[in-house]
């Protein structure tokens, strides 16, 4: 029997890559990249290529289950979907009656993807407490760009003559590996490359200039670049004079942040800082791709703004090969469909005004409210496509303890996870190949022409797995609320209505895309009043932010030391002499997912911590030894990977590790998870981001 080839879009991460699914007799037998998809152009990552192992894995959750032992004891009983939905609706109704809608929090991740669908549920329910990784991942980029430009921008690396990769692991970044393809195309066209990275990654090794920065000092580096560019009159005077606000104040402000000053802070020679700044400023066009590492810090508002000033200062904004304002055919609010009332948004826990502008809650604030009851009690939690016991900061001391205090928890996932083990009800989720969905592969940190893709199911759901949207619809219906749709098909049609399509039409088309428009600020395409300029209070790029000033935040960016560092806490150095940066990613996993799959696990079987050979010798550590990594808050165990590509004072550990095959409810989450060492008590005042990439630690042989 010849296989049927079905065009769809991979949802094993949020990357949105086009897929050709080969189906024989109702069974998925193979997937390959779709060369016609404008988002991925035929490429597919190891996760996507492992789709059949994912869909047919014997350890998938197959039926709804309820807890019959103590929470976390691992005792379960199979139940029907009717009993599961009735239990969830009944328990949430009890919480709503006693504590109001704020008594519920929802927690979503970046997989499957369901984030906008879960937000729709929480908005209808009336709780702003939608917990996720947003405060540390992507939303610092979104928020700082909105404050500065009134919009988001992404790097058109493919058409750049100079590409700056600022602390971003392009080849290994889960969810948006297509960025690496854009980079490779730019490299093949002859682009110069500057890497700001504490580790000699494969990308840094291919760079013309590598700045080996001390983790947590990115703001100081960017301020020194601004100093060099402005002092050397390398900025775009025409763009600065016409389209920016506060340049004179910025120029005066950065006078003291010389490359020599930055050398002492960042550990990078002043000559290298000066060389990199001049190469970027003198190249036309040039782009900066920057995210993730600096977002995990207590100075992320200042850091993001200082880095994102650079495209405006040099005039590399909204032009081919520069940093381009992001568009999409279907806006996030249209996909969400239901806006939250302003009075409900204002009730979100955690007083972080910038994250609350774009996504209401820093995750640690939500779990702290569960633990303490302040500012009000949160007693129930719904988790979809998320594993906060592994991904959250201080998971044992904060997240686990908070979840153990809750009255009710439901978790919906494809596999049993350490987080699901703490639930009262566990629901089996369908995989992306068993559900209809929409994907927007373009994003505010990855240049793809504005595209919206259909992601139709290619096989029927296995066992009793269902789409998360079915759960949202049914639970709301049972408590007397409406999701605005009676089924998944209707929800998708409602989402597409603003662009005049339904899901069947989009499925037939595959995707809709529109040409990228350039210099939109000149033609009134960025402002709701259609006037030229930017969607900011001044109508210009805001170097000096009066909005931040009103919020008692820094109107001009300044470097601030991480709360735990060789500078801010020298008293800890005797016990914890090394700077720890966490979160290195593997190209075969998506955060905590896919460690069950034979192909991905064969490629990457165990967690690895990068340690300089000189440091390892000092502590009697040899390559491949199991070592303990320890901070003042906890420790975990990973294998040593010795390298000369790390500063002897820095170690770099992998994130997201647990072992699905390990017995016990935590499945190894208390063994190898680097987040056990992280800090949930210190935050960026605007964004709530936490210092997960700049801590102190010690390492010793296990």
Distance in angstroms (rounded) separating the CA atoms of residues 485 and 192? 51
pLDDT tens string 319-372: 999 999 877 666 554 555 556 666 677 888 988 888 876 666 889 999 999 999
So what's the pLDDT on residue 266?
Answer: 98
3-state secondary structure 60-86: ECCCCEEECCCCCCCCEEECCHHHHHH
Within 8 A by CB and 6+ apart from 667, the residues are 416, 417, 418, 421, 658, 659, 660, 661
Tell me the pLDDT tens digit for each residue of 119-169.
889 989 999 998 988 788 888 988 999 999 998 888 889 899 999 999 876
CATH class, range 150-327+532-550:
alpha beta
Tokens of 550: 């009103």
Q: What pLDDT is recorded for position 174?
A: 46
Query: What string of H, E and C letters represents the secondary structure of 502-536?
Result: CHHHHHHHCEEECCCCCCHHHCCCCCCCCCCCCCC
Q: Domain residues of the chain, as ranges?
A: 65-135+330-435+464-499, 150-327+532-550, 570-701
Q: Quickly state the pLDDT bin for 576 (edges 50, 70, 90).
A: very high
Using 50, 70 and 90 to split pLDDT, how confident is the model at 37?
A: confident
Neighbour-count burial of 650, counting CB atoms closer than 10 A to its CB (0-12 exposed, 13-18 middle, 19+ buried)? buried
**Portion of the chain with pLDDT greater than 90, in percent:** 73
Residues 6 or more apart whose CB falls under 8 angstroms from that of 382 comprise 88, 92, 104, 105, 106, 107, 118, 121, 409, 410, 411, 412
Instruction: Report the alpha-carbon distance of residue 24 to residue 473 in Å, rounded.
Output: 32
Q: Please check whether residue 534 is in contact with residue 526, taking contact to mean a CB–CB distance below 8 angstroms.
A: yes
The residue written with tokens 């006693």 in the block is 98
Report CA Rg, the chain.
24
CA distance 310 to 322: 11
Task: Give the mean pLDDT of 680-699.
Answer: 94
User: Do the first three CATH levels of 65-135+330-435+464-499 and 150-327+532-550 match, i.e. the same topology?
Assistant: no
Domain 570-701 falls in which CATH fold? Barwin-like endoglucanases (2.40.40)
Tokens of 335: 């996909």
d(CA 625, CA 615): 14
Please provide the average confidence, as pLDDT, over all residues in the chain: 91
Compute CA distances 386 → 55, 132, 337, 370, 677, whole Å: 18, 8, 22, 17, 20
Nearest to 76 by CA among 428, 602, 544: 428
Q: Is 652 left (phi over 0), alpha (psi -120 to 50) or beta?
A: beta
Q: What is the pLDDT of residue 531?
A: 96
Contact 386, 408 (CB under 8 A): no
The CATH-assigned architecture of domain 65-135+330-435+464-499 is 3-Layer(aba) Sandwich (3.40)
Question: What does pTM read for this prediction?
Answer: 0.94
Give the whole-angstrom CA distance, residue 210 versus residue 279. Answer: 12
**Residues of the chain by 3-state class (helix, strand, coil), percent to 5:** 35, 20, 45
Does pLDDT of 447 surpass 60?
no
Residue with tokens 């020194």: 224
* DSSP code string of 393-430: SSIIIIIIHHHHT-SEEEEEESB--TTGGG-SEEEEBP
HSE, side-chain direction, 13 A CA sphere, residue 605: 2
């Amino acid at each position: 029997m010849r296989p049927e080839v079905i065009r769809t879009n991979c949802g094993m991460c949020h990357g949105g890559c086009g897929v050709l699914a080969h189906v024989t007799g109702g069974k998925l037998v193979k997937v390959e990249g779709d060369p016609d998809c404008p988002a991925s152009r035929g490429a597919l990552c190891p996760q996507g290529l492992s789709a059949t192992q994912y869909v047919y894995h014997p350890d998938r959750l197959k039926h709804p289950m309820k807890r019959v032992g103590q929470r976390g004891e691992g005792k379960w009983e199979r139940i029907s979907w009717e009993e599961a939905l009735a239990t969830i609706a009944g328990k949430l109704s009890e919480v709503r009656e006693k504590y109001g809608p704020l008594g519920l929090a929802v927690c979503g991740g970046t997989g499957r993807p369901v984030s906008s669908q879960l937000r729709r549920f929480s908005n209808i329910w009336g709780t702003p407490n939608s917990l996720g990784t947003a405060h540390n991942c992507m939303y610092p980029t979104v928020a700082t760009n909105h404050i500065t430009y009134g919009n988001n921008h992404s790097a058109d690396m493919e058409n750049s003559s100079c590409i700056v990769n600022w602390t971003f692991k392009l080849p290994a970044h889960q969810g948006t590996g297509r960025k690496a393809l854009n980079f490779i195309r730019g490299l093949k066209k002859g682009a110069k490359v500057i890497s700001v990275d504490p580790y000699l990654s494969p990308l840094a090794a291919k760079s013309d200039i590598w700045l080996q920065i001390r983790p947590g000092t990115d703001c100081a580096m960017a301020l020194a670049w601004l100093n060099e560019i402005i002092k050397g009159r390398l900025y775009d005077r025409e763009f600065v004079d016409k389209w920016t606000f506060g340049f004179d104040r910025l120029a005066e402000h950065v006078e003291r942040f010389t490359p020599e000053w930055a050398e002492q802070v960042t550990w990078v020679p002043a000559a290298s800082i000066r060389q990199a700044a001049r190469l970027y400023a003198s190249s036309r066009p040039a782009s900066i791709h920057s995210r993730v590492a600096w977002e995990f810090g207590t100075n992320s508002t200042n850091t993001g703004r200082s880095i994102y000033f650079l495209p405006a200062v040099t005039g590399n904004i909204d032009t081919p090969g520069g940093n381009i304002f992001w568009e999409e055919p279907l806006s996030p609010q249209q996909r969400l469909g239901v806006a939250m009332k302003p009075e409900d948004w204002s009730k979100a826990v955690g007083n972080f005004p910038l994250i609350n502008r774009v996504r209401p809650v820093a995750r640690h604030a939500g779990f702290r409210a569960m633990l303490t009851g302040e500012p009000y009690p949160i007693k129930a939690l719904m988790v979809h496509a998320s594993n906060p016991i592994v991904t959250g900061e201080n998971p044992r001391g904060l997240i686990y303890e908070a979840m153990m205090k809750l009255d009710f928890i439901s978790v919906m996932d494809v596999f049993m996870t350490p987080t699901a083990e703490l639930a009262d009800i566990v629901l089996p989720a369908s995989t992306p190949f068993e559900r209809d969905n929409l994907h927007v592969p373009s994003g505010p940190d990855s240049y793809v022409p504005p595209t919206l893709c259909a992601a139709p199911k290619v096989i029927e759901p296995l066992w009793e797995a269902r789409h998360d949207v079915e759960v949202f619809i049914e639970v709301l219906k049972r408590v007397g609320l409406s999701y605005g749709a009676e089924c998944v098909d209707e929800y998708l049609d409602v989402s597409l209505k603003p662009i005049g399509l339904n899901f069947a039409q989009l499925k037939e088309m595959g995707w809709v895309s529109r040409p990228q428009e350039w210099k939109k600020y000149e033609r009134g395409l960025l402002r709701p009043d259609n006037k030229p300029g930017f969607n900011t209070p001044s109508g210009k790029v805001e170097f000096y932010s009066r909005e931040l000033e009103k919020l008692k935040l820094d109107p001009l960016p300044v470097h601030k030391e991480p709360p735990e560092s060789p500078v801010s806490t020298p008293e800890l150095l005797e016990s914890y002499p090394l700077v720890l940066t966490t979160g290195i990613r593997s190209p075969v996993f998506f955060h905590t997912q896919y460690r069950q799959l034979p192909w991905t696990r064969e490629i990457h079987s165990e967690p690895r911590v990068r340690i300089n050979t000189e440091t390892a010798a000092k502590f009697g550590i040899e390559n491949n030894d199991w070592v303990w990594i320890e901070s003042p808050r906890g420790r975990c165990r990973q294998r040593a990977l010795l390298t000369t590509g790390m500063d002897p004072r820095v170690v770099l550990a992998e994130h997201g590790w647990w072992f699905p095959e390990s017995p016990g409810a935590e499945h190894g989450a208390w063994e190898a998870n680097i987040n056990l060492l992280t800090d949930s008590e210190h935050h960026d005042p605007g964004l709530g981001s936490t210092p997960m990439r700049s801590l102190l630690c010690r390492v010793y042989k296990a």
